[in-house]
A and B are shown apart, each in its own frame.
Chain A
Amino acid sequence: MRIIVDKAKCQGHARCWAHAPDVFTLDDEGYILPGDIKVAMGDELLAARGARSCPERALEIDGTAGP
């Protein structure tokens, strides 16, 4: 699974990080780092929850990409 990150939409809610701190990394201001995220198999459930909790819809789940 891959998470497509729309960095411009991130407003620092940090809901993704709250669900999966190992998957989503924040900068010093609390915003997500740029770049899409490859999710390891064991992290998929929490990563998906984190992505779907984004109040800005900045994270898109691409389920077609293998780990």
Chain B
Amino acid sequence: MKKNEVASSPVPDHVPPELVRDFSLFTSPGMPPTVNGDPHAAVACVHAGPPIFYAPHNTRDGRGTWVITRARDQRRVLQDTETFSSHRSIFASALGETWPMISLELDPPAHCVFRSLLNPLFSPQRVTALEPAVRERAIALIDRIAASGTSCDVMKDFAFPFAVNIFLRFLGLSDHRLDIFVGWGKDLLHGEPVKRSAAAQKIVSFIDDLAALRRKVPVGDFMTFVVQAKVEGRPLTDKEVRGIGVLVFVAGLDTVAAAIGFDLSYLARNPKDQEWLRSKPERIVLAAEELLRAFPTVQMLRVATKDIDFEGAPIRKGDYISCATMIANRDPAEFACPDTVDLAREENSHSAFANGPHRCLGSHLARREIVIGLEEWLARIPAFRIKEGTAPITHGGHVFGIENLILDWC
């Protein structure tokens, strides 16, 4: 990380030059698509610098943000929704609009109303009931892979069809359009502006059409629940239905698949850990937490609602604040040897699913999918490695990911 030598976007006047760093989750080394990359290790280097600094190009559209590096300070930002608002229309901005994704982009107290509505559907207890279906899907996919040879592309053949199917099933959608949905998600998260807008438009139309359909013919799925739901004694508005539908749709498209990709990539490169976990499947639940700590996929973005001096940094109203989980989870003040993956790590208070009221709504489902995916993979596929002559391509950005992961085994 160098001091600000190359930044060309104007740094606001209130930002002291000594707090500006040439750092970006989108453009720093290891963030664009990188062969054999390790984007999580690449961003962990910020811990050698100050606890908070200003990065002039740290959003998809090139805006500057403050970057909070310490886990403790990220908790403070994410728990203080009065000062650090989550309403920034990330999705709607792709359409030049400003409506919020619900509940992510609402602040309390409105946020609490919608979270209370949705929480029971995603509670740990509810997720336990989904487990047999999740396991059945994992086994079917992995058995097909094992029967068809000794090599596969984990992302194409397992991670995406597994994670996206589970989540479409949760929504009550069939998966015959799974590839199309995944394509929309990719364009939305990683595409150029024109592709982003087009994808956002398709997703909005799809959710609006689905809501209309379920209003006409209720079927007992997620969207039916949403169109029939009441908050504060009234039905939801069309915009609220859309806000919920879009968030849940977008959030499930690639985060779990990316996590499974990073996890199997790590195990492919670390045969000792792989063998240990295969011989001790009861340790997978705990190991999955360590893999979530080491390879989380999202960053939280907040906007300041007022001026505040934060740990020596003059944050002003309207400033963006980035709390990247991959940075907090490598904070040496909270995790011993943070850059070492220790699958037996106990008491792992990582923040892969964020902190504060916006803790990932789908976190319990995501966890079960990751654990079940690893359990069934390790039980069915013998010692595996990255196939010789191939190389995974990783990327940073708003959601970290891995594009391909070709494994082989004997």
- Which residues on A are within 8 Å of B, measured CB to CB? 9, 11-15, 17-18, 26, 28-31, 49, 52-57
Contact = CB atoms under 8 A, between A and B. Distances in A.
Interface string B355-385: 1110100011000000000000000000000
A8 to B, nearest CB: 10
The 5 closest A-B pairs by CB, nearest first: A29-B119, A30-B123, A52-B347, A11-B359, A14-B124
Nearest to B358: A11
A30 B349 contact: no
Contacts of B350: 55
Contacts of B363: 13
Interface string B95-117: 00000000000000000000110
B359 A12 contact: yes
A5 B314 CA distance: 34
B394 interface: no
Contacts of B18: none
A17 B124 contact: yes
A11 B357 contact: yes
Contacts of A28: 119-120, 123, 125
Nearest to B348: A53
- Most B Cβ at <10 Å: residue of A14, A18, A29, A57: A29
Contact of B119 (A12, A49, A53, A55): A12
A43 B79 CA distance: 30
Contact of B75 (A14, A15, A18, A57): A57
A53 B125 CA distance: 19
Given A14-B364, A29-B116, A29-B119, A55 B124 contact: no
Given A14-B364, A18-B124, 19 more contacts: A9-B79, A11-B355, A11-B357, A11-B359, A12-B359, A13-B359, A13-B363, A18-B285, A26-B124, A26-B125, A28-B123, A29-B120, A29-B123, A30-B120, A30-B122, A49-B346, A49-B347, A52-B347, A53-B289
A38 B108 CA distance: 32
Given A11-B357, A11-B359, A30-B364, A55 B349 contact: yes
A53 B364 contact: no
B349 A53 contact: yes
A30 B124 contact: yes
Contacts of B115: 29
A29 B122 CA distance: 8
A26 B350 CA distance: 20
Interface residues of B, number: 25
A9 B357 CA distance: 9
A61 to B, nearest CB: 11
Contacts of B356: 11, 56
B158 interface: no
A1 B123 CA distance: 28
B175 to A, nearest CB: 27
A46 B356 CA distance: 24
Contacts of A49: 346-347
B263 to A, nearest CB: 18
A29 B350 CA distance: 21
Contacts of B120: 28-30
Contacts of B346: 49
Interface string B337-352: 0000000001111110
B349 A52 contact: yes
A46 to B, nearest CB: 10
A9 B120 CA distance: 19
Contacts of B357: 11
B353 interface: yes
A55 B75 CA distance: 9
Given A11-B357, A56-B79, A26 B348 contact: no
A57 B123 CA distance: 20
Contact of A30 (B125, B289, B353, B355): B125
